[in-house]
Every structure is written in C-alpha cells, then in structure tokens.
Amino acid sequence: MAGATAAAGVSAWLLLDEHYAADIAERLRADGHDVLAVVDDVELRAQTDAELFRWTAGQRRRIVTENIKDFRPLLMQAYTTGDRLAPLLLVSPRRFPRGSASRTEATVTALSTWLNRPDAATRPDEDWLA
C-alpha cells in the first residue's frame, strides 16, 4: 500500500527524525512551515522508533527520516492493523551525506521545495525527498 495517498486530514506538517539538526526545522519554521525536530524535544529523543511513529501519527505529522529499515515496517504494520499511521518522507543518506558542508542547506532547500508543492498534503504515505 506504499502507493496510497495520505489519509484525509493528514497535513504536510513534518517531524524531522533524530539525525537532522534543529537548525533545519528552525529555518523551515522561519519560512512559515510547521516543522518539529526530534533533537529539540527531550521526550521525543527518548522514544523508540515505534513510539515516535505512534506519537507522530497522533499529531498528524509526516516523519522525515533516513531510517528506512525501521520506519517502513512500522508503516506497513499500520496498514495491516488499521492503526493510525504516520506518513513517511524518506531520504537517501547518499543524497544528503552526513558531514557534508552543504548538508543543512541542501536539506532545507529540498524540504522547502517539497513543502511548497501544491499536493504536499496528499502525497503518498511513503514518499521520497528528491
């Protein structure tokens, strides 16, 4: 069901997984986007991936993550069980390599482009950041 579109009422609000700097969320918020970062919240940092998935689903946010191996199965499980799901915006670590001097700028630009799409709120539950 990875090709399904986001459920009605699920917005393009984002939660940046733990491997994204708080500065990325701050810059996107400065541009008017509703973006949170796990690294900004002590309680979120302490959660397992499954707990974070459930929390994000309850907040009607989309998780931006490189952690495909852990979050994709959680999305598939939510389809199977009928639980509320958190759509994913998956990111290839090769596209935005950690330690790269341009990582923050490139990530902000790509996320801003994605958020400004007219169909951002209805993108597939499993989408990829280009």
Q: What is the pLDDT of residue 73?
A: 98
pLDDT tens-digit series, residues 67-93: 999 999 999 999 999 999 999 999 998
The per-residue pLDDT for range 7-35, each reduced to its tens digit, is 333 347 999 999 999 999 999 999 999 99
Residue 1 clears pLDDT 50, i.e. is over it? no
pLDDT band, residue 96 (cuts 50/70/90): confident
Going by C-beta distance under 8 Å and a sequence separation of 6 or more, which residues neighbour residue 22? 37, 39, 40
Residue 3 included in any domain: no
Let me know if residue 4 belongs to a domain: no
Whether the predicted pLDDT of 94 surpasses 80: yes
Kindly indicate the confidence band of residue 98, based on its pLDDT and cuts at 50, 70 and 90.
Answer: confident
CB-based contacts of 129, cutoff 8 Å, min separation 6: 64, 89, 90, 91, 92, 95, 110, 111, 114
Mean pLDDT of 105-123: 95
Number of domains in the chain: 1
**Which domain, by its residues, includes 83?**
14-128
Residue 5 lies in a domain: no
Q: Is 9 within the bounds of a domain? A: no
